[in-house]
Structure 1
Amino acid sequence: MTAPSTKKTVNTVSATSRSDFPIIVIGTSAGGQSALSSLVAQLPADFPAAILIVQHMAATSSNEAMLRLLADKGNLPCKQAAQHGVIRSGYIYLAQPDHHLMISQGKTLATKGARENRARPAIDPLFRSAAVEFGNRVIGVILTGYLDDGTSGMEVIRRCGGICVVQDPADAAYPDMPQNVLNHVKVDHCVPLAEMGSLLTRLALSERGARIAVPADVAVEAKIAQRVLSDLESVDFLGTQVPFNCPGCGGVLWQMKVGEHLRFRCHTGHAYTVAALLAEQTAKMEETLWVALRMFEENKNLLVKMGAEGTASPSYAERVEQSDIHIRRIKAMLHSNTANTDPLP
């Protein structure tokens, strides 16, 4: 799946080896379109790094409007990330709808792997793969958004020697994502959006020290995200099995904990932070309640029809009343869920 690139005045920097220029990975969700357009407008035409972006989006959406917006607002050429695409300095690469964006062997990957934190594309797989591939050449950026996708990925970037940057939550339209990073990761910079362009330009030009070894658990998670297959051995290495089921596939979950950030994985590849798991469980419960409501209403309607035709047993009226009781209870729970459900990322 590809889309035509949206071109501006093209930076003529040729493709080079993956150690020659920094990689900036950006994650955002709600409010991201406005934030990204503001950020790219601050970057010069000779920007000395490649930029890879994950914006949470619906599976049925299109990147064309976003690519056009980023190209019109900024000075850099914008492309939809392709499978096995070459990464060039001075280019912006945007994740495809309903595909994770990752990096492998210095090239972009666009995969239909399991959702992470309820999202595809998700931020953590990109950040994790970039850290494994580029180590301390990576600059991670988290902008506005709901919940906490990107927190784990930023921690991985920090552990691999990269630089962590977050938008000041007070400056974000939706502060959850940057605030969750600040709560769990020792970031290098927390700045308003208006200051981020000049900061990223300085960081991209700064000297970096020697690379450090990639932690074993980080390398394993990066491999899991690139494969669409069951892998019990890998999740056994990463954590401990717990008595919870994966909302995505119904399988058993493994609990992982790095520092203070608790996460869960199933052996098919779905991954959740605590906040994402709770939000997905709530969504599944609501779905189940709607199914139960339909079944009780159908049961009641059938009983009423049987009674009207004189084919019901004498106890049908009592059964109609019982169905009514269940229907009222389910509607009350659905009303409560509507008022309290966490928003989708």
Structure 2
Amino acid sequence: MSSRSDNHSNSAALAAGGRGRDVIVVGASAGGVEALQGFVAGLPHELAASVLVVLHLPPGGSSALPAILQRAGELPVAAARHGEALVHGRVYVAPPNHHLLLLDGTVALSHGPTENGRRPAINALFRSAAIAAGPATTGVLLSGVLDDGVAGLLSIVSRGGTVVVQDPEEALFPTMPRHALASLRVDHVLPVRAIGSLLDKLSREEVEIGSAPAPSRLMRLENDIATTDSPAHARHDPAQLGPVSGFTCPDCDGALVEMSPATRYRCRVGHAWTAEALLNALGGSWERALSIAIRTLDEKAALSKRMADQARERGSTELAGRYNHNAAEAMDAAALLRGPLEVAARQGGETR
């Protein structure tokens, strides 16, 4: 009888030939902790596949997600470590501020450029698995906002892999699953607790790695960018990715080029954006600019009032009047700017 450790994938196993659908990549965002708990609870203890998980996390500190998921199911769960070989029946969780990637059958962690403002990013994991494992890859997209993961699912489909999406009716935040359903052919739509039994069956189906279409040049270029340990060391030419878009990167103010299929953007540093995420980030940029302008005007009004009081105490009535006029102008301008900001806040609440 072979042990579980005897079943680990390595670069030789990724060569042409038959193997099971034994690489499962999972992405989640808002509402993802609850979705992942249900997902892990449904995984069988003898799963003939490795599971790699990305949940959008704040960049600083550590994550309690491995411990939370360990309590939810039977499989061992741990934070992924750079260079470790994949083992069937284990769950590898992306640590904060690192992309989780699959390279030549081993786990890789990188500090590469953010994608959709995120590191770890779902698209980065999905794309790397599509290149490394082709049709042996199953991509699973769970609860979340915006559309991170959809481009990665397209990469998986292009390489003959399988796509599973959480039922949007069940998801706490259904936007990511809905974007997937609207953008590509999805093989299975299920509640999270039903996904595990499906993956168990899929992991035992043999696929021919050598029959998969080759990764596109753009897919390989983007994967190379993600593996770069630091954006400061990026060595790619944006012209290789597509034409100049006329838009600027919200992260670094660099020029963005437009990539297809599925309209996306990258800058020279390597920051990547889907159209949906870029639109959301640009909205955040102008909201921050308005907030700064309002704060500045409020401070100008307060200082003008203070100076008017001081001038009045000195008997300078005319000067006090000018300061009061300046205060009134600043208050009127701030009130004018508050209108659009309040509308944006209401719309944001309705979207969430």
> Which of 293, 297, 319 is the equivalent residue of 2:326?
319
Q: Is the 8 A contact 1:230 1:269 kept in 2?
A: no
Q: Percentage identity across aligned positions?
A: 33
Q: 1:233 to 1:342 in 2, by over 3 A?
A: farther
Take 1:107 and 1:265, find their aligned partners in 2: how far apart are those partners?
27
Find out whether 1:29 has 2:29 as its counterpart: yes
Find out whether 1:252 has 2:255 as its counterpart: yes
Give the AA of the match of 1:15.
H
Q: 1:342 to 1:203 in 2, by over 3 A?
A: farther
Take 2:69 and 2:324, find their aligned partners in 1: how far apart are those partners?
64
Aligned to 2:49: 49
Spell out, residue by residue over 1:171-219, the C-alpha distance to the aligned partner (whole angstroms, 9 max, x if none).
2222111110111111222222232111111111101122331111100
Aligned to 2:265: 264
Name whichever of 47-56 and 206-215 sits farther off: 206-215
Say how many residue pairs are matched.
Answer: 333
Give the AA of the match of 2:292.
V
TM-score with structure 1 length normalisation? 0.89
Give the alignment of 1:233-252 within 5 angstroms: 233-252=236-255
Which 5+ residue runs of structure 1 have no aligned equivalent? 1-9
Find out whether 1:142 has 2:155 as its counterpart: no
More helix by share: 2
Which 5+ residue runs of structure 2 have no aligned equivalent? 14-18
Take 1:119 and 1:343, find their aligned partners in 2: how far apart are those partners?
23
Name whichever of 303-312 and 158-167 sits farther off: 303-312
Q: 1:239 to 1:61 in 2, by over 3 A?
A: same
Q: Is the 8 A contact 1:11 1:77 kept in 2?
A: no
Q: 2:193 is paired with a residue of what secondary structure?
A: helix
TM-score with structure 2 length normalisation? 0.88
Take 1:168 and 1:234, find their aligned partners in 2: how far apart are those partners?
39
Spell out, residue by residue over 1:145-168, the C-alpha distance to the aligned partner (whole angstroms, 9 max, x if none).
111100000000111121111112
Give the alignment of 1:179-328 within 5 angstroms: 179-209=178-208, 210-227=211-228, 228-229=231-232, 233-258=236-261, 261-310=262-311, 312=319, 315-328=322-335
Q: 1:139 to 1:103 in 2, by over 3 A?
A: same
Q: 1:236 is paired with a residue of what secondary structure?
A: helix
Give the alignment of 1:79-118 within 5 angstroms: 79-118=78-117
Q: 1:232 to 1:72 in 2, by over 3 A?
A: closer
Q: 1:116 is paired with a residue of what secondary structure?
A: coil
Take 2:107 and 2:5, find their aligned partners in 1: how far apart are those partners?
19
Q: 1:231 to 1:63 in 2, by over 3 A?
A: closer
Name whichever of 35-44 and 216-225 sits farther off: 35-44
Give the AA of the match of 2:273.
Y
Aligned to 1:126: 125
Q: Is the 8 A contact 1:140 1:165 kept in 2?
A: yes
User: Cα offset for 1:328?
Assistant: 0.7
Q: Is the 8 A contact 1:118 1:272 kept in 2?
A: yes
Q: 1:283 is paired with a residue of what secondary structure?
A: helix
Aligned to 2:16: none
Greater Rg, structure 1 or structure 2?
Answer: 2
